[in-house]
Amino acid sequence: MPDSPRTPGERPAGARAFDALTAERGILFGGDYNPEQWPRDTWREDVELMQRAGVNVVTVGVFSWAMLEPTPGAREFGWLDEVLDLLHAGGISVDLATPTASPPPWLGVRHPETLPVDPDGVRLVAGSRNQFAPASRVYREAALAITRDLAERYRDHPAVRMWHVGNEFGQLDYGDEAARAFRDWLSARYGTIEALNEAWATAFWSQRYADFDEILPPRRAPYLINPTQSLDFRRYTSDELRACYLELRDAIRDTGAHQPITTNFMGPFHHADYWSWADEVDVISDDQYPDPADPDAPADIAFAQDLMRGLGGGAPWVLMEQAISAVQWRGHNLPKTPARARLDSLQAVARGADGISFFQWRQSRAGAERFHSGMLPHAGADTEVFAGVCRQGADLQRLRPVVGSRVAARTALLFDWSSWWAADEPARPTTRLTTLEQVQRWYRSLWRRNVPVDVVAHGADLTGYDLVVVPHSYVLEPPAAAALIAAAEHGAQVVIGPFSGVADVNGHILQGRSPVQLRGLVGASGEEWAGLPDAGAAVDLAGLTVAGAATAGILAEKLRSDGAEVLASFADGDLAGRPVVTRNAAGAGSAWYVGAVLGDDLLDAVLAEALAAAGVDGIRPEPSAEAATAAVEAVRRGDALFLLNRGDTPAQVRVPGEWVDLLTDETTDNLVTIAPWDARVLMERHHS
Ligand code: GAL
C-alpha cells in the first residue's frame, strides 16, 4: 500500500486533537443546531431530546452573525453563552462555527463593495445568504473581527471541541475588488505581463495586454472568453476562498484555541480545488445530499466519500451535513425512509467517516428551509423520523471499535480540479463529454464490484497500486504523466481514458500524435479527436468479452497501434477498423488506452479485464434466487466488514472466518444474510 502522506503516528496537532475527541466521545453524532430560530423554552427540550437520540456534538452558530452583531461593532454573546452552557451541562459538545458565511444586511447596505457581483455586473443583495465578495477588504476585516471576538470568548469553553469556519466556501465574484485581487494573483503567478501573454496565448484575437491593470475577470463579453483567462480565474477563485478560510482559521488559532478546525467541503465541488485546501484543515468534513430518486446516488456518494478519504491522506473524516429525510431545494423532493437514511450514514462510516452529522437538528418552521427535513421534524419526537435518528445514535455508539481505522485500497483513480476546469471550458469537440460524469461512470463500474478505490491527486506516487484508472484527465502535467509510467513499470495495470493528456497546464494543446507524453507507455497514438454521430458506433472485440452491447459514442480518436495489442476496434463508420481499446506491455505491468467514450457494457468489460489482470476483486454477494443482482455494498474498514443491502430482497455474502456483528452482537460464520434495507458490520473474531 502506498504510504499515506499522514501516517497516524505523525499527525499534526490539530488532527491529533480530532483523534482525541473521537477517542473520548466515539463516533461524533449530531447536526447543525440553530437555537436562534427558536424561543428559549425549546432549548431545554432540544438538549433532552439530543440526549435521548445519543447526539454528542452539534454545530452551532453557522448563520448567527446578525444575532451576534446586530449593529456595526455591537456584540451580543449572551444568548450564545446560555446555549453553550446548556449544551455542556447536557453532555453535548459543540462544533462552534464562525458566522461569516452570511453577513448581516447592514454590512452590504453600508459597504456595497462587500457584495458579490455576477458575470453580468449585477450586484447581489442581502435577503438570502452568502452575500459576500471574498476579495472585499471590508468584508474580510468584519469577518475577522467577529471571529476573533468569538474565539477569544469561547476558546476555553468546555463545550467547544471543534471549530467550523464559514460554511461551504464557494462564492463567485466578478466585481472590482475581485478584479484587483485577480490581477495581484496573476502578477504573483507570472511575474511579468509578457509571461502572462505567453501563458494566455493572447496573440489570438488581439488579446495582448500591455499591463496587468488592463485585465478583468471573465465577465460577460461579446463571444467566447480566452480559455486560459477563464482557467486562471477558477484557480484564483479557489485560492481567494482558501485565503478567506486561512485568515479565519489563523485568527482562531492565534487566540490560543487548541481544538481541531475544519470547514465543510461539498464533495467534488467545481469551484474549490480541495487538493489545495486539504492540508489546511485538521479534519476533512463534507456535506452530502444524495437524491433518493437517483439510482446512481449511492455510487456517486461513495465516490465523494472516497475522495474525502483521499483528501485526508486516508485519515478519518466527518460527514458534516446530510438530510435525514427530504431536502427542499430540488424541483421535486423525495424523502428518505429511515432505513435509507441509516444506510447512508453507515455507508459514510464504512468509507472512513468518524463523524455523522445532519442539517439540521430541529426542522425550521419558517424561512427558506421550512420544508427541509430535520432530525426533529415539525411533527415532533413521536415520529418515525425521530425514531430513526435514535436508532442511528444507538448504532453509532456500537461502532466505537472502528474509530480511527482506515480503508485499504489497491486501486487508484485520478481526479484533478485544474484538468476538470480546463476540459470543461466551452468550445471543444463535444460538450457531451464532461469530466465529472466520466469519473463517476468509471467509478460506478468499480463500485458495483465493491472494489475499494483511493481517489488520488495528479502527480501522487502510484507505485504501490495494482490498478490505476484515469477516466478523463485532459491536462496531465509532466509529473502526473511520469507517475503513470512509473506505476506501470512497477507492475500496475494503468487504464487511461479518452481525451486524456491532451493539454498542458495552461490548457494549450500539446503538439504531436497524442497522447504526446504517454505514447511510449500506451504503444498507440492518435492524430485527431472527433465527435461521433448520435447513433454511436459498433465495436468489434478481440480479447474482450462484453455482457451486452459493445459500443462507443460521443468522442473518438483516430487511433493507430504503434505496437500495442488491439482489444477492440470500430466495426463501422468513418473510423471502421481503427482501434478503440489497446493494451501495451509496459515494465512489469501494462498500459490500457481507451480511444473513445465507451458504452456502459464495454467500459465495464474493460475495467473487469484490467481488474482481473491486476488480481484485484471486491467482495460480492452470493448469486441469489430472488434478485438477479443483489444490491450489497461491501467495504472493509480496518478489521470491520460493512455489508449494506439497499435491495428489496435478502442478500447473502460468503465471509470465511468467525465474525461478530457490532450492531447486534450476533455471531456468524461463513455465510451471512443481510435483510432488505439493512446492514451488518462484522468484526473478525481473532482467537488467541
Ligand atoms: C447546505 C448548507 C446548509 C443547508 C443545507 C440544506 O448546502 O450548508 O446550511 O442549507 O444545504 O440542504
Checking if the pLDDT of 628 tops 60, the result is no
Cα(359) to centroid(ligand 1), Å: 6
Please name which of 325, 294, 331, 288 lies closest in space to residue 306, comparing C-alpha atoms: 288
Residue 10: the pLDDT is 78
Q: What is the DSSP string of 181-248?
A: HHHHHHHHHHSSHHHHHHHHTTTGGG---SSGGG---S---SSPPPHHHHHHHHHHHHHHHHHHHHHH
Classify residue 301 by burial, with Cβ atoms within 10 Å: 0-12, 13-18, 19+: buried
pTM over 0.85: yes
Looking at domain 411-614, its CATH class is: alpha beta
Question: Which pLDDT score is estimated for 7?
Answer: 53
pLDDT band for 8, please (50, 70, 90 cuts). Answer: low
What is the band of 631 on the pLDDT scale with cuts at 50, 70, 90?
A: confident
pLDDT band for position 685 (cuts 50, 70, 90): confident
CA 106 vs CA 65, 70, 72, 73, 125: distances in Å? 11, 9, 7, 11, 11
Chain region(s) in the chain for CATH 3.40.50.880: 411-614
Q: Give catalytic status of residue 141 as yes or no.
A: no
Using DSSP's 3-state secondary structure scheme, residue 423 falls into helix
What pLDDT is recorded for position 30?
Answer: 98
Choosing from 36, 113, 152, 168, the catalytic residue is 168
- Average pLDDT for residues 381-396, to the nearest whole number? 98
Residue 368 Cα to ligand 1 midpoint, Å, equals 11
Burial label for 538, CB within 10 Å (0-12, 13-18, 19+), is middle
Nearest Cα to Cα of residue 80 among 72, 69, 144: 69
Q: State the closest ligand 1 atom to the C-alpha of 289, by its place in the atom list counted from 1.
A: 12
4 has pLDDT over 70: no
How large is the average pLDDT for residues 344-348?
99
Taking residues 455-478, what's their average pLDDT?
98
**Dihedral angle of Cα 434, 439, 442, 444, to the nearest 10 degrees:** -110
Outline which parts of the chain fall under CATH 3.20.20.80.
1-63+284-407
Q: Topology of domain 622-684, per CATH?
A: Immunoglobulin-like (2.60.40)
pLDDT tens for residues 144-173? 999 999 999 999 999 999 999 999 999 999
Instruction: Write the secondary structure of 10-70 as one string of H (helix), E (strand) and C (coil).
Output: HCCHHHHHHHHHHHHHCCEEEEEECHHHCCHHHHHHHHHHHHHHCCCEEEECCCCHHHHCC
pLDDT grade for 669, boundaries at 50, 70 and 90: confident
Instruction: Please report the DSSP string for 455-476 in residue order.
Output: EE-TT---TT-SEEEES--SB-
CATH no., domain 1-63+284-407: 3.20.20.80
- By the 10 Å C-beta count (0-12 exposed, 13-18 middle, 19+ buried), 508 is classed as middle
pLDDT over 70 at 2, yes or no: no
Taking residues 73-98, report their average pLDDT.
98
Q: How many CB atoms within 10 Å of residue 443?
A: 24
Q: What is the dihedral of CA 522, 527, 533, 535, to 10 degrees?
A: -20
**d(C-alpha 236, C-alpha 271), whole Å:** 10
Nearest-CA neighbor of 634 among 616, 615, 621, 623?
621
* Residue having the nearest C-alpha atom to atom 11 of ligand 1: 359
Place of cell 489497491: 410
Q: Reply yes or no on whether the pLDDT at 5 is more than 80.
A: no
Mean pLDDT score across all residues of the chain: 96
* 107-134 pLDDT, tens digit each: 999 999 999 999 999 999 999 999 999 9
Q: What is the DSSP letter of 114?
A: G
Of the candidates 89, 647, 26, which has an alpha carbon nearest to the alpha carbon of residue 354? 26
Atom of ligand 1 nearest to the CA of 323: 12
For cell 448581516, the residue is 104
Residues lining ligand 1, Cβ inside 6 A: 167-168, 287, 289, 321, 327, 359, 369, 372
Share of the chain above pLDDT 90, in %: 95
The residue to mutate among 65, 263, 369, 371, having the most atoms of ligand 1 within 8 angstroms of its beta carbon, is 369
Tens of pLDDT, residues 548-595: 999 999 999 999 999 999 999 999 999 999 999 999 999 999 999 999
User: 489: CA distance to ligand 1 center in Å?
Assistant: 45
Indicate the length of the chain as a whole number: 688
437 is catalytic: no
Name the residue at shortest CA distance from atom 12 of ligand 1.
Answer: 327
Confidence (pLDDT) at 141:
98
Calculate mean pLDDT across residues 532-543.
95
pLDDT value of position 9 = 59
CA–CA distance, 255 with 180 (Å, rounded to integer)? 31
Question: pLDDT over 70 for what percent of the chain?
Answer: 98
Catalytic member of 69, 321, 425, 477: 321
Residue nearest atom 5 of ligand 1, based on CA coordinates: 359
369 confidence band (pLDDT: 50, 70, 90):
very high
The ligand 1 atom at the shortest distance from the C-alpha of residue 168 is 8
